[in-house]
Amino acid sequence: MERLIARLGLNLAHCRKYLGLRHRTVERMMSHCAACGESETCRATLAQTQGVMAEPPAYCYNRKILLKLRTRRQEAHADSHSNSGPDSVGDS
């Protein structure tokens, strides 16, 4: 699961700290991944794909949450850039 998350351009620790991903959700995602009947296909896809993947595979049980996390990350990234002008209050 962590390889897929990384291949989508996400970082699990960052998602937990800054995007509101709860520990319980991570556990549920890991359980879905472990029980998936497409694990060999997923491993092969990850091995064959170079760089950042456009989206999770269609069969991925965690697809919806992964897409939501990526959207949140993109929104947070856009917000941080729009607030970086001279009138912005310090980043922390």
**Can you give 29-61 as a three-state secondary structure string?**
HHHHHHHCCCHHHHHHHHHHCCCCCCCCCCCCC
**Of 76, 73, 70, 66, nearest to 28 (Cα)?**
66
Q: What is the pLDDT of residue 84?
A: 52
Q: What is the pLDDT of residue 86?
A: 47
Confirm if 76 and 18 have CB atoms less than 8 A apart. Answer: yes
pTM: 0.79
> pLDDT tens, position by position, for the chain (92 residues)?
999 999 999 999 999 998 899 999 999 999 999 999 999 999 999 999 889 998 999 999 999 999 999 999 888 888 877 765 444 333 33
Q: Sign of the CA dihedral 24, 28, 74, 3?
A: positive
Instruction: Kindly provide the b/e burial profile for residues 25-46, where b requires at least 16 CB atoms within 10 angstroms of the residue's own CB.
Output: ebeebeeebeebeeeeebeebe
Q: What is the pLDDT of residue 68?
A: 94
